[in-house]
Amino acid sequence: MEYIVETNQLTKRFGKEIAVDRVDMRIPKGEIYGFLGPNGAGKTTTIRMLLGLMKPSFGSVQVFQKFLNEDRLNILKKVGSLVENPSYYPHLTAYENLEALRKVYGIPKSSITEVLELVRLSDVGNKKVKGFSLGMKQRLGIASALLHNPELLILDEPTNGLDPSGIIEIRNLIKRLPAERGITILISSHLLSEIDQIATTVGVLNKGHLIFQDTIERMREYSKQKVLLSVSDREHAWQSLVAAGIKAELHNGMISLKEKSDEKVAQAVRSLVHNDFSIYRVEEEKGSLEGIFLEMTTEEKSL
């Protein structure tokens, strides 16, 4: 498989603290890679190392199959990024902000009007950014990242601080990009719901460890529903089920059935009633992605 981003044992230490710990990130071409992790997991630190803003304490970064420490300038020509809060010059207009970047990329002026159009800032292009709303600044940040038509787009929490309509707008914009421009996207977030809606591949970072990395479908498989039984004398009830050859687990004071077909559930209930256990509740828990995410990040063990 062709990886656009590939890190090997990427590690960053700040004094004693290890913010990023031996991360092997793999981003296949054309994917939207959702980079998930709770606050302080090390997402921004990883992204900074991908861009060469920080030097890794250990390990290496390859982008477009070239080592970042050897080919940094050639790589960065094809990478657009928005790290944490957007950087902008408040005393300049939106157009001038983009013009400052354009001068360095040495691309035609028409690209400025194009990206302003794309993020719907054309009307305010000649206004100073100082007076922009948070959402407008964020969109300008995305415009800056897209200005030179990059092949890899790195967005660190791009919807931070946006209202719901702003979030939807940015999400739709991001979703369109791989198809329209053939770019690969890395998007970080601490909200699973956000990643769930746009990502095709997911990486979960927790306390500096990459604890999961696979397609979004594989991630969803972990979230299959469970059937839970609340019963009297659960210890014995569970033993009787297992004795009857029914696959079950004791879980948080409930019995959790491993096989969830109607027939298997009916069989379990019948067996319990038959053995004189009282059944208080039979419930179905729709394991959400949120649930697995929390499970993954609290248990802190590798899947």
Partner 1 sequence: MIGKLVAQDVLKIKRKGIWFLTFLGPFGVVALQMVNYGVRKAYLLQQSDDDWAYYISNVSAFSPFALILGIAILTSFMASIENETNGWKQLTALPVSKMAIYLSKFTVLVMLLFLSSILLALFSLSYGVFLNLGDEIPYLELLKYSIYPFLASLPVLALQLWVATVSKNQGIPITVGVFGVILSYSAYVLPDWMIWKWPSLLNQWNEPMINVLFGLTFGAILYVIGMVDFMRRDVK
Among ligand ATP, partner 1, Mg ion, none, what binds residue 103 when CB lies within 5 to 8 Å by partner kind?
partner 1
Interface pick for partner 1 out of 7, 46, 62, 81 (rule CB under 8 A): 81
Site for ligand ATP contains 280 (CB under 6 A)? no
Whether residue 247 contacts residue 259, with contact meaning beta carbons closer than 8 Å, is answered with yes
| Strand blocks (E) in the chain | 3-14, 17-23, 26-28, 32-36, 58-63, 66-67, 79-82, 152-156, 184-189, 201-206, 209-215, 226-231, 248-251, 254-257, 279-285
Total residues binding partner 1 (CB under 8 A) = 31
Contact window for Mg ion (CB under 5 A) among 10-18, 28-36, 39-47, 278-286? 39-47
Among ligand ATP, partner 1, Mg ion, none, what binds residue 106 when CB lies within 5 to 8 Å by partner kind?
partner 1
Residue with smaller CB distance to ligand ATP, 36 or 147 = 36
Contact window for partner 1 (CB under 8 A) among 73-81, 191-199, 212-220, 286-294? 73-81
Interface with ligand ATP in residues 143-202 (CB under 6 A): 190
Contact window for ligand ATP (CB under 6 A) among 36-44, 125-133, 142-150, 256-264? 36-44
What is the number of other CB atoms lying within 10 angstroms of the CB of residue 273?
A: 11
Nearest to 60 by CA among 10, 19, 23: 10
Interface with ligand ATP in residues 51-80 (CB under 6 A): none
Site for partner 1 contains 94 (CB under 8 A)? no
Q: How far apart are CA 158 and CA 138, in angstroms?
A: 7
SS3 (DSSP) at 256: strand
Site for partner 1 contains 52 (CB under 8 A)? yes
Per-residue exposure over 32-68, b if at least 16 CB sit within 10 Å of its own CB, e if not = bbbbbbeeebbbbbbbbbbbbebebeebebbbbeeeb
Q: How far apart are CA 177 and CA 67, in angstroms?
A: 25
Interface pick for partner 1 out of 22, 59, 67, 76 (rule CB under 8 A): 76
Q: How far apart are CA 81 and CA 144, in angstroms?
A: 8
Q: What angle do CA 166, 170, 176 make, to 5 degrees?
A: 150
Site for ligand ATP contains 45 (CB under 6 A)? yes
β-bridge pairing 201-206 and 209-215: antiparallel
Residue with smaller CB distance to partner 1, 75 or 192 = 75
Interface pick for ligand ATP out of 2, 40, 90, 239 (rule CB under 6 A): 40
* Nearest distance, CB of residue 45 and Mg ion, angstroms: 8
Tell me which residues touch ligand ATP (CB under 6 A): 14, 19, 37, 39-45, 190
The residues of the shown chain that bind partner 1, judged by CB under 8 A, are 48, 51-55, 73-74, 76-77, 79, 81, 83-92, 96, 99-101, 103-106, 144
